[in-house]
Structure 1
Amino acid sequence: MTSTSHADAVPSLGRKMFNKVPEVTLFFWVIKIMCTTVGETAADYLNDNLGFGLTNTTYVTGAMLAVLLVAQFQLKRYVPLVYWSVVVVISVFGTLITDNLTDAKNVPLLTSTIVFSIILAAVFAIWYAVERTLSIHSIITTRREAFYWLAILFTFALGTAAGDLLAEKADLGYAVSIAIFAGAIAVVTFAHYVLNLNAVLAFWMAYILTRPLGASIGDEMSQNSHKYGGLGLGTTGTSYIFLACILALVAFLTVTKKDQTPPERVAADAPA
């Protein structure tokens, strides 16, 4: 599932660079889901196992995210280790935004889901109004990259709210939740490839859905609940397993460069 530009780009603020994000391949989706899983279990590990609490966990991950984003913005091209490190931490931070609203402020999940949907739609609308493209093949200016990471942050917040809303209202258990969200992604994929659903819309719909899918996988592996199921590996063991898999794949992509945007595609979407 890929995202393509439907309009010529207009001049954009910021220096021009090589594409700063990976191509959307099978590797992308596998690592993205695992990053989401690590984000879920790592947040639980810091919050519960280490006793940081929700507020301190938010501060720690927020500081980590700021440092990593500075490093990411300083680069002139896509660097797998830095990029995916940002995705892991932003998945934690986006999740914590929703958790703080739900647990600390008692904001209903339905309200959070609606508000984050509106915010995300606004981000996309402004991004398109300014750049005339939402193509991820041409994240080659500072401004485009800022829109990209802002959108990703709210996809995680929205995915958390919508996923928790479904889980709490339906009370289905982890395995069933995995099947539901995996099925939803399959439907989006079918709609894109068979029914010609817009590539940009399909990409971001799938991106949002991978968050609750990854969280459900993390819960299934780490938890051991009589009511909801789970393998009982614990948050530490689950985090280490997926982190090792992520590092292995990132090392592979760093060497092979299989997920880098072809120069001709970047040129096609480059700002004037």
Structure 2
Amino acid sequence: MNTKVETLSELVSVFQSSHRGNVALCYGHFNAIHPGHLRYFRKAKDSADKLLIAVEGDKQLSELERGINFSESDRAQAVAALDIVDGVVIMDSGRLEDLVKIVRPEFLFLGKEFENRRATRVVDAVELVRKSGGKVVYDSGETHYATSDFLYGDQSNLENERWAQYFTALANQKIEFTSVLDGLLDSPSPRILVVGDSIVDRYVACDPIGMSNEAPVIVVKEIESKDYVGGAGIVAAHVVGLRANCVFVSVSGAD
């Protein structure tokens, strides 16, 4: 294994780190290194003397994420192969704030997804860095690639975000959640008929290849696709989610 690579459990066991000092710490799973990551790492390295990368461990990933990502060792080795990187820590145990306590970084660099969709994973680490006088920077490397990673999301983080928005809306309206819940549970379940087209929405992740010689359009290579229920079908699913008895009437074909 590359000598740059360590595990969090190893650092915790000795209660010290050779990476202390003016350190910029980056965090993510880094499944496929692309130019956006390089710009992201360069910006972090320009802010400090040392660049330390924390790679999400396999245990921190959901079952779905583990199925589409390389192993923690492979991802860590790929990051460590970059000359710009001074050290890599595999998060095989604990949480990001545990590493922050050991390293005490001057800067914590996080991808834009940690600012909203995945904020719950890093909230304690962000607070700890700011309390210690450090700076938290959210940066995406200023790139917009359509990789297959975008076809998969962490369902728990998405649900937590939606619940937070819901409770905020209730608080703004001075509505108690228990009163809403009691109203739903006490009311009889209505019978609802949904009639409409069955639609399958297909999202395709692509990589741009170049411009077409025949028309002013970008030629792309399809990487992966994922299908979702759409149209009246998803409406019926939402009706069931609201505790109604739903009957769905539609047509289907060979396509």
TM-score, reference length from structure 1: 0.22
Instruction: Considering fraction of residues, name the structure with more helix.
Output: 1
Question: RCO greater where, 1 or 2, for CA within 8 Å and sep 6 or more?
Answer: 1
Instruction: Considering fraction of residues, name the structure with more strand.
Output: 2
Point out the structure with max Rg over C-alpha.
2
TM-score, reference length from structure 2: 0.23
